[in-house]
Amino acid sequence: MPEGDSVLQLANRLHFMEGREVTGCSFRVPRYATVHLEGTSCQRVWPYGKHLFMQFDDRIVHTHLKMEGTWAIHYVGDRWRRPAHSARVVLALANRPRDIELVGHWLGLVEVFGLDDYYESIADLGPDILLPRWDREEAVRRISMRPGRSIGAALLDQGNVAGIGNEYRAEACFIAGVHPAARVGDIDYEHVLDVARRIMWANKDSPIRVTTGVRRAGETTYVFGRNNAPCRRCGTLIQKGFLGGVDAGGDEGELERVIWWCPVCQPAPVGSNRGQPGWR
């Protein structure tokens, strides 16, 4: 699933929309099939965490890429590079000599609502970790409210902090020397959060996501996706497991997610075994 830096970069790519008139519009989602934006102008495009927002006069289009979503940009009349059945939103924008077409494929979420409903739409989200002046204190407060929860689950909870995904969770925990199954109340969770902010901010404009400082292929991460590979610090083989999920005592709707860690650099929580608390 794209993380906050990917959605920020997408929003930056789409800033050209601002000020352009909508000349064609199609929402291929039953609930919004009758919505028409033709004649409106795009006022603003911006991200919040993993969510993308587009304002057209007094209405907002809210989308989420989820696992497979993508936005294609081309001229009206050009052959689509992805199947037509995957399109969820199609927008045409005024441009000379040919209008520009944006197609949102495989979008996991599509909503259209009035401008006044924006803050309600983000009410369940924590502070956006990639805002220039982000509300760190509020994110810390939200995480601290559940000291018995694993730091791995807390970081992925978008209600605590918006924008962190599985890759940055894995890398932040490694850099901080914390096992992702460690309980919030047993570690310096503020340091882990600060590491996540630092590495995400460093990558916000980068076409290649790098947390090691090395941009060569296969060397960009410490633990993410590196099961059974040697730790870049100590040489111990990286381990892979699973954390969270309803069956493991997680919150309703929480998904079990893959975790990676170095057994030496990130020792398991004292007194815990795989399967407790909530990891295997």
Residues noted as catalytic: 2-3, 50, 257
Contact between 140 and 154 under an 8 Å Cβ cutoff? The reply is: no
Q: In the 8-state DSSP scheme, what is residue 262? A: -
Contact between 178 and 151 under an 8 Å Cβ cutoff? The reply is: yes
To the nearest 5 percent, what fractions of the chain are helix, strand and coil?
Answer: 25, 25, 50
Query: Alpha-carbon distance 58 to 35, whole Å?
Result: 13
Q: Is 91 helix (H, G, I), strand (E, B) or coil?
A: strand
Instruction: From residue 43, give the alpha-carbon distance in Å to each of 17, 23, 115.
Output: 8, 15, 11
Name the E strands within 85-202: 87-93, 100-105, 109-114
Q: In the 8-state DSSP scheme, what is residue 199? A: H
Looking up tokens 């605590």, which residue turns up? 160
Q: Which residues pair with 26 in a beta bridge?
A: 90
Query: Alpha-carbon distance 17 to 64, whole Å?
Result: 18
